[in-house]
């Protein structure tokens, strides 16, 4: 990636931003530590603010789920604690002080969110609970957290996978923390799920979208400089790389907005040299 005039995070940020519509509401949790923080918090925040600064001035950001439309010029680093006075004192438009709060998750107030897991499968199911059998796990992880809601109450979900490896992109997840399209749209319907579901899977190598009738992930674009064989070899379920376009690169103007207006303190994502 080092030969490109932008970072992979900048690339993803701008592509994500363009997929948001004006007036939408985006939810991001607060992940901490390295790549997870970048993919679940940093990139989503940068993308939402980029959208606000460009085509979507009425987009609403739910930072850590409870700080509504924070003032970005005040963010000097990614917050590392969800509920401390630092984030409480970050200027914003509204704060959620109690549960249930000022937006109605289960009425569909949230248009999109960002989630992740240790595994994602071909149907878009994600797993943050365990590797191996649930009752005798090889690795026990944190649990389902808010992923069930992300994948059914939000109107769409961007699955953010900071590591694109065979062990994370599996045929079938070991535990369904968040439901994708098992059996396609019809399958979701039969499960009583009337809303939401995964929109994209975003990785450092490519972006997947879904054939919702078939209930299968398919490639949407491969990032510039990435060999399609690398994508094939990193993905544990069958995909087709033929004729897949390259992920649209950000323009010079977009990079300037991103670097100067959205993230002037380089607090959210790594930036390319200018």
Q: Which is nearer to other proteins, 66 or 72 (CB)?
A: 66
Q: How far is the CB of 125 from other proteins (least distance, A)?
A: 8
Nearest residue to 144 via CA among 136, 134, 158: 134
Q: Which is nearer to other proteins, 129 or 247 (CB)?
A: 129
**Rounded to whole angstroms, how far apart are CA atoms 139 and 130?**
6
Nearest residue to 148 via CA among 175, 185, 121: 175
Contacts of 47 (CB under 8 A, 6+ apart): 12, 13, 14, 16, 17, 20
The 10 Å Cβ neighbour count of residue 19 is: 15
Q: How far is the CB of 6 from other proteins (least distance, A)?
A: 24
Q: Which is nearer to other proteins, 184 or 272 (CB)?
A: 184
Q: How far is the CB of 232 from other proteins (least distance, A)?
A: 28
Q: How far is the CB of 95 from other proteins (least distance, A)?
A: 5
Longest dimension (CA), the chain: 53
Q: How far is the CB of 103 from other proteins (least distance, A)?
A: 6
Looking at the chain, list the stretches that DSSP marks H as alpha helix, in order from N- to C-terminal side.
Answer: 8-19, 34-37, 43-53, 85-88, 147-150, 184-190, 228-234, 252-256
The 10 Å Cβ neighbour count of residue 58 is: 11
Nearest residue to 31 via CA among 48, 13, 14, 43: 43
Q: Which is nearer to other proteins, 108 or 225 (CB)?
A: 108
Q: How far is the CB of 228 from other proteins (least distance, A)?
A: 32
Sign, CA torsion 110/165/207/41:
positive
Q: Which is nearer to other proteins, 179 or 222 (CB)?
A: 179
Q: Which is nearer to other proteins, 163 or 271 (CB)?
A: 163
**Rounded to whole angstroms, how far apart are CA atoms 273 and 229?**
28
Q: Which is nearer to other proteins, 5 or 260 (CB)?
A: 260
Q: How far is the CB of 79 from other proteins (least distance, A)?
A: 10
């Amino acid at each position: 990636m080092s030969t490109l005039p932008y970072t992979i995070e900048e690339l993803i940020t701008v592509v994500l931003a363009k997929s948001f519509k004006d007036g939408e509401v985006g939810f991001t949790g607060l992940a901490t530590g390295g790549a997870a923080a970048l993919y679940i918090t940093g990139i989503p925040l940068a993308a939402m603010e980029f959208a606000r600064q460009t085509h979507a001035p009425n987009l609403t950001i739910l930072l850590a789920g409870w700080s509504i439309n924070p003032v970005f010029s005040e963010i000097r680093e990614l917050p590392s604690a969800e509920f401390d006075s630092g984030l409480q004192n970050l200027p914003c438009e509204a704060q959620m002080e109690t549960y249930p709060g000022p937006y109605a998750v289960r009425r569909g107030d949230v248009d999109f969110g960002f989630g992740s897991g240790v595994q994602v499968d071909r149907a878009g199911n994600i797993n943050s609970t365990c590797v191996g059998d649930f009752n005798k796990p090889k690795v026990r992880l944190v649990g389902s957290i808010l992923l069930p809601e992300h994948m059914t109450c939000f109107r769409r979900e961007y699955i953010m996978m900071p590591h694109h490896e065979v062990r994370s992109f599996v045929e079938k997840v070991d535990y369904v923390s968040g439901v994708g399209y098992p059996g396609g749209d019809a399958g979701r319907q039969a499960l009583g799920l009337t809303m939401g579901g995964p929109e994209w899977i975003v990785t450092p190598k490519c972006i997947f979208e879904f054939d919702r009738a078939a209930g299968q992930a398919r490639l949407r674009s491969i990032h510039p400089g990435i060999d399609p064989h690398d994508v094939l070899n990193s993905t544990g379920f069958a995909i087709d790389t033929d004729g897949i376009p390259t992920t649209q690169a950000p323009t010079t103007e977009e990079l300037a907005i991103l670097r100067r207006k959205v993230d002037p303190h380089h607090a959210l994502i790594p930036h390319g040299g200018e």
